[in-house]
Amino acid sequence: MTVAGDNGAPVPGVDARHAREGLSTAEVRERTAAGRINSVPTATSRTVGEIVQANVFTLFNGVVGGCFILLLVLGQWRDALFGLSAISNSLIGIIQEYRAKRLLDQLAILHAARSTVVRNGARETISSEELVPDELVVLNAGDQVTADLVLLDGNPLEVDESLLTGESEPVPKQGGAVLLSGSLILAGSGRATVLRVGPDTFAYGLAAEARRFSLVTSEIRRGLEKVFAVITWLLLPTALLLTNAQMQEQGGWAGAMASGRWVPAAVGSVAGIMAMIPLGLLLMTSVAFAVGGLRLARQKVLIQELAAVEVLARVDVLCLDKTGTLSSGSIVFDAVHDAGTVPVPGWRQALEWFGSNADASSTAAAIGKAFPVQVPAQEQDLVPFSSARKWSSVTFAAGSAAAGTWILGAPDAVLHAPGCATAHGKAAALAATGLRTLALVYLPAPLPPDAAGAGLPPDLVPVLLLAFRESIRQDAASTLDYFRRQGVTVKIISGDDPRTVGALARGVGFGTGVACDARRLPQDPVELEETVEAHSLFGSVTPSQKRDLIQALRRRGHTVAMTGDGVNDVLALKEADLGIAMDSASPATKAVARLVLLDGRFERLPAVVDEGRRAISNIERVSLVFLSKTVYATIISVVSGILLLAFPFLPRQLSALDGLTIGLPAFFLALQPGGQRYAPGFLRRSLAFAVPAGICTGLCVLAVSGYAQTWGGYSEESAQSAATMTLGLVAAWILVVASRPLHPTKVLILAGMYSGLVLLFTVPVAQDFFRVDWPPPGLLILSTSVAAAGCVAIEVVGRFTRRPSIPGHQGGLGPLTLEAAAREREGGTAGRSDGPAST
C-alpha cells in the first residue's frame, strides 16, 4: 500500500511485507551507515576555546594584564593588587557563558525515550536515537513520538500535540496522518512508519533557532559597555600624556632612562591608567546578580543567566502562554446542565461508571472526581471511546437502577436526531463560552450490533449536558492583579481555540474575555504591531506567530517577558527579552528560558520582580561611586599630563582607597534589600551625578597635590599622603550621598569605611605597606579644608541630581511570599524608597 502524509506529499511506499515484518537487519545497517539515524548535533555557536578567548583576550584585560606583568617584572608586586579584580571578572564571564553553553548543548525536544519497533518480523525495544527512515514503530497509549511518523491503516489514535502547537485538545489521527516528534499518544494503538529522523524532524526545526547562543538583553550591561567604549578611546592618549609627564618629572626621557628613574615614572603611569578603569564595577554587578540568583534559588526559581535578574524588573509587557502557565493543563468538571428534557432516572449511576475508569482519558478522570463511586454498576455491554466515533457507551441489564444504554460523547456526534435540536443548541451555547461540552443520551434498549460502525439509532433521548473547563492555577488571578497594579501590560498568547482562551481569561478576571483569532492576524508588520498593541488575548496562535507577536512588541519599544512550557513556546521565549519556563516545561523550553519556576508556582514572579528591583537599585547605587572614580581619575591623569606634574598616587595607595571607599562598602551595598519601580535611563542617571562629582573630586586632589609639589616644597611622600587623605575623605562622601536614604545597616557600613581610613594612617604596618603617613600640619590643614569644600560641593550635586524617595511607593513585595503580596494588595504594606535615582 502507499501512504500519503497530512500535507499530501508522497511518502515512501509501505508494502504488506514491510507493514508486517518491518525492516531487515541489512536495511537498518545500510541506513545507519549512511548516517540516517535519529540523532541531532548539539554544538552551539561558540566552543570552550572561543568562550575563554572572548572573556580573556579583551582590550581592558590586555591593558590590565600588561600593567600587572610590568609591575611584577619591576618587582613592584605591592602595586599590582588590581590584577586580582581583572582575574575575577574573567572567571565570572567564562563560568557564566560556559554554563549557558552546556544548557544549550543539552537542548532536547524529546525526553530520553525508547521505541518499540518491528525488525525481521519480531518486536524489539531500541533507543530512539537508533531509529532510521522507514522503520516500523509500534505505538501504544502513553508512548512519546520520537521521530516524525506516518500512521498506517488501523485503529485511530488520540494524540496530544500541546507541546508542539499549544492546542490542549487531543487530536484524532487516522491512517495516513503524520505524527510529529514530541507528540504523546493518549489513547489507541497502532503501527507507523518513520518519515523523518534527526535534524529533519519538526521538533528539531523548532529547536534549531533556539540553540543559537545569545545573551539576555541587559540595560546595565549595555550601559557599562558604553562607558567602557568611551574609556577605550581615552585610555591610549591619556596613557601617553601621563607617561611623558612622569618621565619629564624624573629628569626627561634620556635622564630617566640613564639614571633608572624610569621605574617610578612607569609605576606612576600605571597608577593613572588603572585608576581610569572601573574594574570593580563589573565585579560588583556580577556579585549583585549572583546574590539575586541565590536568593531566588531558595524560592525555587532557577536563574540560567545572571543578568536575567535585572530584566523582569523593567519589563512592561508580560506575555503568558495559557496551558501550563495560567492553567495546569488538566481539565476539571464544571457543571451539569439541563438538556431541555425530563431527566431519566439512573443518569448518576451511568456517570459514575464512565468516571470509574480514570485512566481512560482526562475527561473520564474529571467525571470520576465529580461523581466518585467505590464499586461501579456492572455493565452488560460497552463500546469503548473512539476518536472517529467521538462517543462511548455502556449498557446495563434490565432490573438495575440504570437499565438501558447510556451514550456519552461530543454533542455533534450524539445529538443529531430530530428530537435533540434543543439540546444541541444549548450545547453550542456552552461551547461558545469556551467550555468543553459532552452530551449524555439514553436508549431504553441495547444498541444495535452495527451501531459502532453504522451509526447511532435516531430515537436517542437527550438527558444531560456536561461542561468541563481547564484547571486554573490558584495563584493566577492574584499574580495577574499584581502586574496590572505595577503598570505591566499582560497579554495571553495561546495555541488554544480563542473561545477557550477567552473563557479562561474571564476565570482569572482578565478583561472582557474576547480573544483575537490569530488565523486572521495581518501579515503586514506595521498592522501586526497595531493589532498586538490593541488586543490582550490571542488564540489559535502558531509557534512562528508567537515569535512574530513578540518581535512586534519589541519593535514598539517594549521590554517583553514571555512564559511558557511547551516546545511551541521555544521561538517566542528565545525572542523575548526574558523567557520564563514552568516546571512542567519540555527540556527544550527550560534550556532556552532565562528563568525556570522549579515548582511551577506562578506567584513566584512578583518575587523575581522584587529581586530584580533590588539588584538594579543596588547596582545603580554602586555605579555612582565607580563612575565618579573613573571621572576623577581621568581628570587627574589628563591634567597631570598636561601640567607635567607627578601622578599624585602609587597604585597601592589607590588600591587601598578603592577597597575602603568603593570596593568593600560597595560589596555590602550590593546586598541591600528593596528598590523602587525601575525607570529606564540607568546610565544617564548615573552619569548625571558621577560627572560633576568626579570633577569636584579631581579638582580637590589636583589643588592639594599641585600645591604640595609646586609651591609647598613638600617631599614626594608627603604630597602623596596628602593627596591620599584628600581623595579618601571626598570619595567617602560620594559613598554617603550614593547610599541614601540611610538606615542602621548602611550607617554601620559607612562607619566602618571611616574607621578604615583612620587605621590606614595610624597602623604602622598599613603605613609602611601603602607608604602613607600623616601630612605635615600645614599640609594636613589644607588637605582637610579642601576635602571639606569638596564634600559640600558633592552634597550640592547630589541634591540636584539624585531623585528623592517617593513616600509610600511600593518597591516590590518585600518578603518573597504570597502573603506579603496579599498584604500589599490590601494597602497594608509600606512602600520602600531606597531605590536609585530616576526620572
Q: Same domain for 223 and 283?
A: yes
Q: Radius of gyration of the chain from Cα atoms?
A: 35
Least confident of 119-133, 290-304, 417-431, 794-808: 794-808
- Give percent above pLDDT 90 in the chain: 14
Q: Same domain for 249 and 379?
A: no
Q: Same domain for 194 and 228?
A: no
Asked if 576 and 553 touch (Cβ cutoff 8 Å), the reply is no
**CA distances in angstroms from 706 to 270, 641, 703, listed in the order given:** 20, 12, 5
In this structure, is residue 236 part of a structural domain?
Answer: yes
In this structure, is residue 839 part of a structural domain?
Answer: no
Residue 768 belongs to what H/E stretch?
Answer: helix 764-770
Asked if 350 and 373 touch (Cβ cutoff 8 Å), the reply is no
- Report pLDDT for 240: 78
Q: Same domain for 115 and 241?
A: no
Q: Is the pLDDT at 209 greater than 60, yes or no?
A: no
Instruction: Considering the candidates 321, 497, 577, 658, report the single residue annotated as catalytic.
Output: 321
Q: Same domain for 494 and 443?
A: no
Q: Same domain for 441 and 497?
A: no
Q: Which residues, including other chains, have CB under 8 Å from residue 501's CB and lie 6 or more apart?
A: 322, 434, 492, 494, 515, 537, 538, 539
Residue 507's domain spans which residues? 301-326+474-600
Question: Among 154, 184, 210, where does a domain finish?
Answer: 210
Q: What is the CATH number of the domain that holds 182?
A: 2.70.150.10
- Report pLDDT for 168: 55
- CA-wise closest residue to 461 among 628, 626, 340: 340
In this structure, is residue 60 part of a structural domain?
Answer: no
Asked if 106 and 591 touch (Cβ cutoff 8 Å), the reply is yes
Range 367-390 average pLDDT: 83
Q: What is the CATH number of the domain that holds 590?
A: 3.40.50.1000
Least confident of 214-228, 527-541, 719-733, 789-803: 214-228
d(CA 447, CA 336): 25
Question: Among 149, 179, 210, where does a domain finish?
Answer: 210
Q: What would the pLDDT profile of 137-191 be if each residue is shown by its tens digit?
A: 988 876 778 888 898 876 677 787 766 665 556 677 878 888 888 777 766 778 8
Asked if 753 and 735 touch (Cβ cutoff 8 Å), the reply is yes
Length of the chain counted residue by residue: 839
Q: What would the pLDDT profile of 32-66 be if each residue is shown by its tens digit?
A: 888 888 876 554 446 777 777 766 776 667 777 77
Q: Same domain for 714 and 756?
A: yes
- Report pLDDT for 251: 64
Q: Where are the beta strands (DSSP E) in 636-774?
A: none
- CA-wise closest residue to 672 among 726, 634, 615: 615
Q: Same domain for 235 and 340?
A: no
Q: Same domain for 652 and 560?
A: no
- Report pLDDT for 512: 66
Which residues sit opposite 833 in a β-bridge? none
Q: What is the CATH number of the domain that holds 372?
A: 3.40.1110.10
Asked if 107 and 587 touch (Cβ cutoff 8 Å), the reply is yes
Mean pLDDT of the chain: 77
Question: Which residue's entry shows cell 495559557?
Answer: 322
DSSP-derived pairing of the beta strands 148-151 and 178-179: antiparallel
In this structure, is residue 187 part of a structural domain?
Answer: yes
Q: Which stretch, 130-134, 252-256, 290-294, has highest mean pLDDT?
A: 130-134
- Give percent above pLDDT 70 in the chain: 75
Q: What would the pLDDT profile of 472-523 be if each residue is shown by its tens digit?
A: 777 788 888 888 888 888 898 887 778 878 878 877 777 666 788 888 899 8
- CA-wise closest residue to 622 among 65, 223, 233: 223
Q: What would the pLDDT profile of 744-769 be if each residue is shown by its tens digit?
A: 888 888 898 899 999 999 999 988 88
In this structure, is residue 84 part of a structural domain?
Answer: no
Question: Among 545, 568, 600, where does a domain finish?
Answer: 600
Q: Is the pLDDT at 317 greater than 50, yes or no?
A: yes
Q: Same domain for 20 and 134?
A: yes
Question: Domain total for the chain?
Answer: 4
In this structure, is residue 2 part of a structural domain?
Answer: no
In this structure, is residue 167 part of a structural domain?
Answer: yes
In this structure, is residue 125 part of a structural domain?
Answer: yes
The one-character DSSP state at 184 is: E
Three-state SS for 147-176 is CEEEECCCCCEEEECHHHHCCCCCEEECCC
Q: Same domain for 562 and 516?
A: yes
Q: What is the CATH number of the domain that holds 658?
A: 1.20.1110.10
Q: Is the pLDDT at 260 greater than 70, yes or no?
A: no
Confidence tier at 1 by pLDDT (50, 70, 90): very low
Q: What would the pLDDT profile of 463-479 be if each residue is shown by its tens digit?
A: 999 998 877 777 788 88
- Coil, helix or strand for 9? coil
Q: Does residue 321 carry a catalytic annotation?
A: yes
Range 102-122 average pLDDT: 66
Q: Same domain for 188 and 263?
A: no
d(CA 763, CA 760): 6
